[in-house]
Amino acid sequence: MKVRDRWDDLEAVDGAALFVAHDEPQALRDVLLGDELDAAGLPFPVLVDRSREAYARWGCGRIAWWRLWLDPNVWKQYWSLLGRGMSIRGAGGDTLQLGGDFIVAPDGSLAYSRPQQRDDRPAVGELIDRMHEVAAPARN
Amino acid sequence: MPPTPRPGDPAPQLDLPTLTDDRASLRDLRGRPVLVSFLRHAG
């Protein structure tokens, strides 16, 4: 989670973060967090949406399997994992489920909406910049 | 599936259990900018 590495930038604007996952909780602890830290050590909560109702409400759909396997970014990530000696472990969840990134303004409105269409997550730097833009009017 | 929420729309509701067996709600963070990130899958 690269946001964790930029946490100071979020705190600078009194920002908060909520991460949402749909996998089974124990698999999330094993795969997502690994051995380096436990969930209580994260600076933000990881919410669990097993039914994926929140995913649907926020516009995060599923990708067709053939589009997933034709995406070079997917292969790049898998090769990168293998190159670092890591195995490709599934968390038992739906690998076709897409995610998305959103920024909510202090007044509760949506300031940024970027549901994934494929493996196209925005850079963390872009999200941090948007957070600063959203926070600026509230601070003036 | 409902339409994708767009900038300017009210943020959809988000209130779920957490990995630490707690509960977290977007509503409780009103007044602060919040990054909401839906993960694709963990493995």
The CA radius of gyration of chain B, in Å to the nearest whole number, is 12
Instruction: Give the per-residue pLDDT at A16.
Output: 94
Q: What is the ipTM of this complex?
A: 0.92
B28 touches chain A (CB under 8 A): no
Residues 6+ apart with CB under 8 A from B3: A59
**Residue A110: helix, strand or coil by DSSP?**
strand
Residues 6+ apart with CB under 8 A from B37: A3, A17, A18, A19, A20, A99, A100, A101, A102
A93 versus A30: the higher-pLDDT residue is A30
Q: Looking at chain A, which residue has its C-alpha nearest residue B19?
A: A46
Tokens of residue A36, six digits: 């380096």
* Tens place of pLDDT per residue across chain B (43 aa): 668 899 999 999 999 999 888 999 999 999 999 999 999 876 5
Instruction: Give the per-residue pLDDT at A36.
Output: 54
- Residue B29, min C-alpha distance to chain A (Å): 7
Q: How far apart are CA A79 and CA A74, in angstroms?
A: 9
The predicted-structure confidence for A55-67, as pLDDT tens digits, reads as follows 999 999 887 777 7
Instruction: Give the per-residue pLDDT at A73.
Output: 74
If one counts every other C-beta atom within 10 angstroms of the C-beta of residue A132, the result is 16
CB-nearest partner of B32 from A14, A25, A92: A14
Instruction: Give the per-residue pLDDT at B4.
Output: 85
The predicted-structure confidence for A102-137, as pLDDT tens digits, reads as follows 999 999 999 999 998 877 788 888 999 999 999 876
The predicted-structure confidence for A19-55, as pLDDT tens digits, reads as follows 999 988 887 777 666 655 566 678 889 999 999 999 9
The predicted-structure confidence for A58-91, as pLDDT tens digits, reads as follows 999 887 777 777 777 777 777 776 777 665 555 5
Q: Looking at chain B, which residue has its C-alpha nearest residue A112?
A: B7
- Residue A68, min C-alpha distance to chain B (Å): 12
Burial of residue A85 (CB within 10 Å: 0-12, 13-18, 19+) is exposed
